[in-house]
Chain A
Amino acid sequence: MKDYLLIIKTEGSVWSDLSPEELQRHMEHGHAYIGELMQSGKLKNANPIDKGSRVVVEEKGVMKDGPFNESKEVVAGYFHITVADMEEAVAIAKANPIFKDIPTRIEVHPMMPVGGN
């Protein structure tokens, strides 16, 4: 079994145009999807990302932090899953119902195991 980090990226303001009815449906789909992943034991952790992200950089020895530009693309949430291989991780990402409702990108990153590969 290997660990994967799924990072869900969406546009910043996509939600504001959805109707309450659509938001409820979307919520229920996401709820069922995550519930199933938990039940299967493949989900280690998952969280939605709140507004107000900041970016920290170092420039010429000075640490700076500034607001993350949320207008274009935001990290909507992440999943930490444990599955057989990359193929299964990708299949899980593809099954995310978020694709049905809004433009989304999901990055699937293999996590390096404690003892190395």
Chain B
Amino acid sequence: MTKEINKLVDHLFRHESGKLIAVLTNVFGPDQLELVEDVVQDSLVKAMRNWPYHGIPQNPSGWLYRVAKNEAINILKQGRIKQRRTVDPAFLERIQEESLVDEFLFSEKEIKDDQLRMIFTCCHPVITSDSQIALALKTLCGFSIAEISRAFLTPAENINKRLVRARQALRSHKVPFAVPVGPELPLRLKAVLDTIYLLFSEGYHASSGDQLIRFDLVEEAMRLGKLLLDHPAIAPKQSIHALLALIQLNASRFAARQNADGDIITLEHQDRSLWNKAWIDQGLIHLQQSEPHRFLSKYHILAIISSYHCTAPTFEQTNWVGILREYNRFLSVDNSEVVQLNRSIALAKVEGAQAAIDTLVGLTTLENYHLYHSILGEFHIELHRWTAAIKALEKAESLASLDKEKALVRARIEYCIKKSGN
């Protein structure tokens, strides 16, 4: 029994799981995804049971590949897979030669190619978007059903149903394990970026769920974006840069958004020294490379807005005129009421709270959205209309789902009551 002092890098199992699932899906085909997921899980379990006793191997990834590959070969040899249409006959022939088994290793390039194929497979339009996200997290990012459920505060059975539907869609539509080429690529790339954005957005904006796991979602979104960016076959790069800029600039504020007790801290009151400077810098570089003067996408605009926030020394010194201009551009791409709500904050800074309130009247789809009423309440506070503010904030309080959100609103209501009494 030997004992090495090897330490594993953080998230090694999670990331190796994603890589292994990708390379094995290329062998078995997307219709055998569940089998592949089981093989990979078994390999990780073997490592978990073996390494504490026998030491962490010099090359942990190599160990996992070997074990997963042997298990996969056993399955193929035993004919335990019903449909072999996706398995390359040459590969099957090759694995019959025992001597070749040990030489068969996946190269870094093959792994990257397969991960890319996996991204496009998970984000295939035949899968609904909530199932796409669940599938990407399960297969590419190595999250368990329980972890996805914790991140989204959604019951595990619902997550499982989404995964089952996703795998069914892959089977019934015979989705190929391939990166689209030609004119199809930009369209499919857009769908992939949308899914990564949603993944990020769920992690970043959701006011519910486990904080730690949600930070992991943000990191995963970043990792998937970088995989796309680094791969020469994927173009155009500008929108990928824009998405990465948006993710990194926003994520830089993650640690400042809550205090040690988990209380929510709004942008205005955040300690800006807690913002991650390295991520801001990287985000700004991505923003520059996204060529925002030549391209207009919602990711470009959101990244620019975020860059104004990230580079402002104080909340008051934020370039609200610039932010308002970007929101005006945003409305030409997406004039949804949520965008109008976000725009109203910048508008209030530039033209005053009354102008902002005027644009919010009649946004009926936001009637049950707690932030709509919170923001409205804040505008009334600026205008010293305490009764109207209290009314809006009480509505927000009743709609907020989380205790921490309710507490934040309650504090503002108390403030209004105190003010109106004077």
Contact = CB atoms under 8 A, between A and B. Distances in A.
Q: Looking at B13, B44, B146, which has the most chain A CB atoms within 10 Å of its CB? A: B13
B1 A20 contact: no
B144 A48 contact: no
The dominant DSSP class at the A interface is helix
Contacts of B325: none
A77 to B, nearest CB: 7
Given A21-B142, A21-B147, A23-B13, A15 B48 contact: yes
Interface in A18-75: 18-24, 26-28, 30-31, 33-35, 38, 45-48
B151 to A, nearest CB: 11
A117 interface: no
Interface in B25-79: 41, 44-45, 47-53, 55-56
A23 B53 contact: no
B5 to A, nearest CB: 8
Interface in B163-186: none
Contacts of B50: 48
A28 B47 CA distance: 11
A35 B51 CA distance: 11
A16 B45 contact: yes
Q: How large is the interface on A (under 10, 10 to 19, 20 to 34, 35 or more residues)?
A: 20 to 34
Contacts of B11: 21, 24
B14 A31 contact: no
Contacts of B49: 15, 48, 76-77
Contacts of A46: 1, 53
Nearest to B45: A15
B4 to A, nearest CB: 9
B8 A28 contact: yes
Given A19-B14, A46-B1, A26 B53 contact: no
B136 to A, nearest CB: 15
A34 B147 CA distance: 28
A38 B13 contact: no
A17 interface: yes
Given A23-B48, A27-B48, A30-B52, A16 B1 contact: no
B52 A18 contact: no
B16 interface: yes
B144 A19 contact: yes
Contact of B53 (A21, A22, A47): A47
A15 B147 CA distance: 15
A17 B13 contact: no
B306 to A, nearest CB: 29
Interface of B: 1, 3, 8, 11-14, 16-17, 41, 44-45, 47-53, 55-56, 142-144, 146-147
Top-4 shortest CB links A-B: A30-B52, A19-B144, A20-B13, A24-B13
Given A27-B13, A46-B53, 8 more contacts: A20-B41, A23-B44, A27-B51, A30-B52, A31-B55, A31-B56, A33-B52, A38-B1
13 contacts: A15-B45, A15-B48, A16-B45, A19-B14, A19-B146, A20-B13, A21-B14, A24-B12, A24-B48, A31-B56, A34-B53, A38-B1, A77-B49
